[in-house]
Copies of this chain bind each other. A is one copy, B any other.
């Protein structure tokens, strides 16, 4: 069993790819993932699960169909299951995601932005 400390900055230093979440920890059947984002992502939803966004550094916005949420460093948001959303970041933003193992980054939308959901760093 791995009970070591996990340093977020050290983990972020291991990759540069944007919009490609990397798993850093597992709790029961949930994954904690890190992602670097900049620009606009695609509209999608996760019909089967809520999804947590935590901003570790930088700032981002989550657009919903009729509202939006701005998140700065030290802020988080729960996107409810089934709610269409589009993450956006003007500058590079580093985030932690919490969601069930196997959750696909583009949810119910598959395309060139879709990444594997099982990459550990």
Which A residues have a C-beta under 8 Å from some C-beta of B?
1-9, 25-28, 30, 32, 49-52, 56, 62, 64, 67, 69-72, 74-81, 83, 98-100
Starting from the known contacts A6-B76, A8-B75, 4 additional A-B residue pairs (CB-CB under 8 Å) come to A1-B80, A5-B72, A7-B75, A9-B74
- Whether A5 contacts B75 by the Cβ 8 Å rule is yes
Give the secondary structure class of A's interface.
Answer: strand
Find the B residue at minimum CB distance from A80. Answer: B1
Find the B residue at minimum CB distance from A67. Answer: B3
Which residues of B have CB within 8 Å of A74? 7-9, 56
Q: Show 13 A/B contacts (Cβ-Cβ < 8 Å), sorted by A.
A: A3-B62, A3-B64, A4-B69, A5-B71, A6-B76, A7-B75, A8-B75, A25-B52, A27-B52, A28-B50, A30-B30, A30-B98, A56-B74
CA distance A5 to B62 in the complex (A): 10
CB distance from A60 to the nearest CB of B (A): 10
Find A25's partner among B76, B81, B83, B99 (CB 8 Å cutoff): B76
Find the B residue at minimum CB distance from A29. Answer: B50
CB distance from A23 to the nearest CB of B (A): 12
